[in-house]
Structure 1
Amino acid sequence: MPFAPHLAHLSWKSMLLLFAYSYLAALLLWVALHLLYGDRWWWLFLLTALAFYLFLPALLLPPLALVTRHPPLWVGFGLAAAVWLGLFGRLYLPHSAPVLANDTTLTVLTYNALYHNTEVERMVAAIRASDADLVAIQELSEAGLHAIQAELSTRYPYQILAPAENTAGMGLLSRYPLTPLPPSEFALLPLSGWVGQPQLATLDYHGRQVLVLNIHAHSTSLGYGGPLRFSPAEMEQSVRQREAQMHALAAFARSRSEPLLMLGDFNTGYPSHAHRILSAAMQDAWLVAGHGVGHTFPGANIPGSSRPTVLGMPIPQWLIRLDYIFYSAHWHATHAEIGVWDQRSDHRPVQAVLVLR
């Protein structure tokens, strides 16, 4: 009997240590699988999509080390912290401004406006508030087209608008001369599988020809606003198709010598394998000049939104980052931020300030 309290104390200590070491083993196993296999399996894809949240239990390790008086847990915490810093640390560090000979900036915006959003005046207000020089729109509707032409033609005299009666609509708006390129320029890009067919154009930026590519990549359906559901086979197929698209975009980037911008809804999170493929050829403006995780999805829970529900309740907002601004080595990003949200789209816009070297 005198030993019962001591045995009970050891039992709780053992349980806490079991939890701590099980978590560390699972976290390090995910890191190894992510590095070796990318998003090969549906469950690994989901874990990586929510990678930021996998590190939250690590915050319990220091108090557990103190409570259990088990110093090795500090080593485990250090390992978890090192991995987190490698993936996300730069997003919380101050960015040093580069010394550039050219101080002329180009502000660009990417914006999935949600096809089902009927309050297009909110979309117009969000674009106007950005004061961007170049705007890439995904899911452009006919109503959105008419609103843009009526309200933004003076601000953006150069427009390439391709609305659709579904989520395939695309659009480019510019203060600088914008010229669409013929289909022959798309030779390296797959012609199918995109939510919206990519738009490729040249931008006459102070006498230099800049390539602009507006992207809406293949999506992974988790319910499209209804109950959360998924098919492992369909999910893995969508991941493979999106990775093929990123390989094509990376090959396209390497084949061009002009300054290049890729903007859009890439339907992949960070640090996904698809992101790794494209970022090997292009710079992600948010990683260079953004602050915080920059999550852009899911947003509004209105009819037609892609924000799924669980037990009748919509999942939390802003869980992952799907919207990106990528640029070639000709540019440098000095600032990136989340744009004004219209309260209706299931995405938030992203904008960046770029300087041509």
Structure 2
Amino acid sequence: MEPIWAVGLMTGTVLDGNIDVALIRTDGESVAEFGPYALVPTPPGLLALLQRTLAEARDWAFVGPEPAIFAEAEERLTLAQAEAVARVLQDHAPGAGIVGFHGQSVLHRGPVPGRPGATRQLGDGALMARHLGLPVAYDFRSADVAAGGQGAPLAPIYHAALLGRLGDAAGTAVLNLGGVANLTARAPDGSLAAFDCGPANAPINDFIRARVLGEMDRDGALALAGRVDEARLAQALEHPYLARPYPKSLDRFDFGPGLAEGLSDADGAATLTAFTAACVGRGLDMLPVRPDRLIVSGGGRRNPALMAMLERFAGVEALPAEAVGWRGDAVEAECFALLAVRVQRGLPISFPTTTGAPHPLTGGRIARP
């Protein structure tokens, strides 16, 4: 199958104020060429609407009718992201054959014994397709959850494509630090092992906001000035999720900032940052072969305190994506470009060793203009 140009979109659960747009030329298996990417600012008012939507989603908790705010947020989000795609295509791009539209995750619950999983992403693929005049792949997670899978992570098949471009990547795994942290590694038999290993930026950001110190611990400055509460850290690492075998997945609110309650601003930031790093270490211990190197994408790679603590608390060398020629801000958006082509071509997007799907599973829907 010949590679085509595809656009990928991503907005993370930490609501950093950007719409990530990236183009790649791909056949759904590998990347033939990287195209332009942009971090397009979220339109005024939309971020506040999404924050209210996330709060109402937590109160809803998949019980009863969906909150009315979902409809308004979905329409405004879809149109804002469609405009972001149109801007990138007009300014930079060679054209595209399909758009991969992840939408905004507002609530996610992995399955556990006696309770099925559930997931909700806001995003109207049909509205975007009409607006852009392009086919749009969307709703990537629902089929996996309906089949008994976790619905996450979906990035491993793209991480595998990136690792393939590095040639011999033995001993190397991929870590994405978004709202939560997820790992992807190759098992000795060639299969992919992947799962959400713990929190990442979400509890740190929530702590900073709660202390009215800004939106994030910029450059890790607060954590670098603080001291890790080792006793609290050791207790937090007894959380049952961390010992649960993978596949497994998290919602961005499953781990909050409560670990830092009663600590100073600096010590709280340091302890939460150390917890993220130590959770990665626990995840690495679960893999069939423990990697000695991590390639790190997502916003967390820009936090020097977190990157340093990965070496201290996870016992692994941590390199930002750019160190191997990847575009760290674009990896997730690029992923959904590749997944869109896989959906279009009927290729599986989730697997038993990544989401717990019963077999390699196709998913997603396509809306046509």
TM-score (norm 2): 0.29
- The structure whose RCO (Cα within 8 Å, separation 6+) is larger is 2
TM-score (norm 1): 0.30
Larger radius of gyration: 1
